[in-house]
Amino acid sequence: DAGVIQSPRHEVTEMGQEVTLRCKPISGHNSLFWYRQTMMRGLELLIYFNNNVPIDDSGMPEDRFSAKMPNASFSTLKIQPSEPRDSAVYFCASSKGLAGLAYEQYFGPGTRLTVT
């Protein structure tokens, strides 16, 4: 298995631009998580999906952030418009089961986003 695949691995963009991050979960996993990691705040859960349905998006910081999961093998996290404070590493993770039972999450390599 290839593991969780994220693209792009690095993204540098200017403030105000739209950014789209992509994730392909592990085949057979039915939960998908988007996280943001910074030195100051650590790893923050933004949103998670179960069976392609958003279950909890309370971690999404603002309306500028949106996430979709059109099918079991693909998800996107979009930031529009982007701001310098969005600079962080964004991780996608997948697992079997609901979040409360998903003790084993498999993380992708992350997307390092820099907004100038």
Q: Which is nearer to other proteins, 10 or 14 (CB)?
A: 10
Token pair 């907004």 in the structure block, residue: 115
Site string for other proteins, 66-95 (x = CB under 8 A): -------------------------x-x--
CA distance 92 to 56: 15
Question: Could you give the CA distance from residue 105 to residue 89 in angstroms, rounded to a whole number?
Answer: 17
CA separation for the pair 23, 90 (Å, rounded):
10
Site string for other proteins, 39-58 (x = CB under 8 A): --xxx-x--x-------x--
To other proteins, the closest distance from the beta carbon of 70 in angstroms equals 23
Q: Does 28 bind other proteins (CB under 8 A)?
A: no
Of 81 and 99, nearer to other proteins (C-beta) is 99
Cβ(2)–Cβ(103) under 8 Å? no
Interface residues with other proteins (CB under 8 A)? 4, 33, 35, 41-43, 45, 48, 56, 91, 93, 99-110
